[in-house]
A and B are shown apart, each in its own frame.
Chain A
């Protein structure tokens, strides 16, 4: 790489940082102005527009790389200085993304109008991504005629990143996410998109057969009577029968634990009924004064009230809502084609039907273990395999980096 004379005139000879800076800041300012005057965000492009856009991008890179190889523009675009510039530009924007609170909805304030509080849907961020793809693409095509076993790692790393950015960027518009609330009474055949619109008939219907949820044993904490805030943050008792522990100066013993109970006048009895609550009979002894207090505590439910134990004027022992350990839904799926089958949906293990992947995402947290419904999300991602290919290449490239470190490349 020959170095340019220090007094090289701009736009002449081999381009460098000055040209990168001018081009990038030019588009950056143009992006801000476009966003400000256009008064809306860029709309996401969908099939087949995204395909055309992608092909045009690839075409530009190929034309440069094949026919204009020796032009100073191409040498600059594919060179390291421009790589540093394009990475820096993207980096600056995502640092802003990390520091400036972002707004999801349109707002009249200046920060929004300029694009800085909705960076992900701003013109200049779009430009930064396209610029990165062009520069990176040029870099790859430049070394393409010299591909061999030794520099295969260079290609895997660079092309892997390129493919991932390409597919995620272009494929975003084709990604469909549908939220569905399924119940035991009727099969549900439609849901809501991210933006709140209903989907209409999806060509498949889902019915909840059974919802299973497992909780960790509930915990008891000491809270301030006035503030309601947890005192002694890191001390708690797991409520299991015969369990004991210490919070502050109280020795707490779980004398009795009922998983399903209903309370009458602060006394709890084992009852298995919808809305039944977990309850624990506590014996608390003050290790300083020797005072012994006892009573039932319960977190209550949507149907029945809970209870707490007053240990002192400003210390209350309460049972926190139990935390979910695992939950899953047994579902029945009906397809437009007439298929009917049952399946089980767990968090992290989606079920595939008709191009959709169904994910278990939530449930009626107010009713907790008595949830009558299950909340699932259906996702269609046609560009999935392109993204996966890119990501897998990045994994292989990373492993190469780990094994070889920085040898002479």
Chain B
């Protein structure tokens, strides 16, 4: 718990620096170095925490909701850092940090039992790839949501001069690739475990909904390049569907009997 607090602090400091820079509109080399260093330091701490959690639990820390949030936080930080390095928009690094801290805080306020048990069906070679690939896609698509939300603000949109779509489209294509892998790995795993690829349980239904929503975005962008507002809204809604898939099913009535309901 202490560790969460520690690196939470590191990341907060970090984002403060980014924001301060943003408002002063003048870049100092030192500022840039500091916040990048802090971002990487925070990341290092998170990796260290995850590894020690893995060792302590004697199982991959990917089974509970909180554990998946941990991976999301890690991946979102990596992705936003890569975006920042590639396209130089500081606000996106800030966005990634925001997401990362947000989910860490959610974890902090919703402590979970450090439960070592893992049902037999989860002890499969598919468990790790399926979860990792999905969390990676969630992080990438989460960043695309952030881009879309920002781009819907007219002042920011005019600053970016269309670049927002280069970033968003790239993120969606790559994120969608990982999403597809997650879906297919799940089908392979299900076939091995129960003999059926797909059972339309709440999680699978919403996973398909999410997949189709991003598929829709991709095809809409191909045909209607000029209609940027509609495309951005599709992107915003698609991520909301993704969140419903990730967390929402725990609250739906039918979710309780699903194999996908995160056991606590």
Contacts and interface: CB of A to CB of B under 8 A. Distances in A.
B124 A348 contact: yes
B111 A324 contact: no
Nearest to B198: A168
Contacts of A48: none
Max chain B C-beta neighbours (<10 A), residue from A102, A177, A387, A391 = A391
B205 interface: yes
A355 to B, nearest CB: 13
Contacts of A399: 177, 181
A346 B120 CA distance: 9
A235 B264 CA distance: 11
A400 B205 CA distance: 25
A406 B177 contact: no
Given A97-B200, A98-B202, A395 B184 contact: yes
A373 B184 CA distance: 33
Contact of B219 (A83, A101, A379): A83
A399 B129 CA distance: 14
B123 interface: yes
Interface stretch (B29-37, B40-48, B153-161, B208-216): B208-216
Contacts of B178: 398, 402
Contact of A401 (B120, B177, B197, B206): B177
B209 A84 contact: no
Nearest to A324: B120
A120 to B, nearest CB: 6
B192 A348 contact: yes
A398 B214 CA distance: 13
B177 A84 contact: no
Contacts of B193: 347-348, 359
Contact of A97 (B117, B187, B198, B205): B205
A233 interface: yes
Interface in B180-236: 180-181, 184, 187-188, 191-198, 200, 202, 205-206, 208-209, 212-213, 215-216, 219-220, 222-223
Interface residues of A, number: 54
A246 B67 CA distance: 23
B195 A177 contact: yes
Max chain A C-beta neighbours (<10 A), residue from B117, B198, B254 = B117
Contact of B117 (A81, A216, A234): A216
B216 A84 contact: yes
A327 B121 CA distance: 10
A80 interface: yes
Interface string A325-343: 1110000000000000000
B241 to A, nearest CB: 8
Given A177-B195, A405-B170, A394 B205 contact: no
Given A91-B212, A234-B112, A325-B117, A98 B205 contact: yes
B119 interface: yes
Contacts of A30: none
Interface string B142-174: 000000000000000000000000100110111
26 contacts: A84-B223, A87-B215, A91-B209, A94-B209, A94-B212, A97-B200, A97-B205, A98-B244, A234-B113, A235-B113, A323-B117, A326-B123, A347-B123, A357-B195, A359-B193, A361-B194, A379-B195, A387-B197, A391-B184, A391-B197, A398-B184, A400-B177, A401-B174, A401-B176, A405-B170, A406-B172
**Smallest CB-CB A-B distances: 9 pairs:** A379-B195, A401-B177, A402-B177, A398-B180, A80-B223, A234-B113, A347-B120, A398-B177, A405-B170
Interface of B: 111-113, 115-121, 123-124, 166, 169-170, 172-174, 176-178, 180-181, 184, 187-188, 191-198, 200, 202, 205-206, 208-209, 212-213, 215-216, 219-220, 222-223, 241, 244, 253-254, 264
Given A80-B219, A379-B196, 19 more contacts: A80-B222, A87-B212, A87-B219, A94-B212, A98-B206, A101-B254, A177-B196, A236-B115, A326-B120, A346-B120, A347-B121, A348-B124, A350-B192, A377-B194, A394-B184, A397-B180, A399-B181, A406-B169, A406-B172
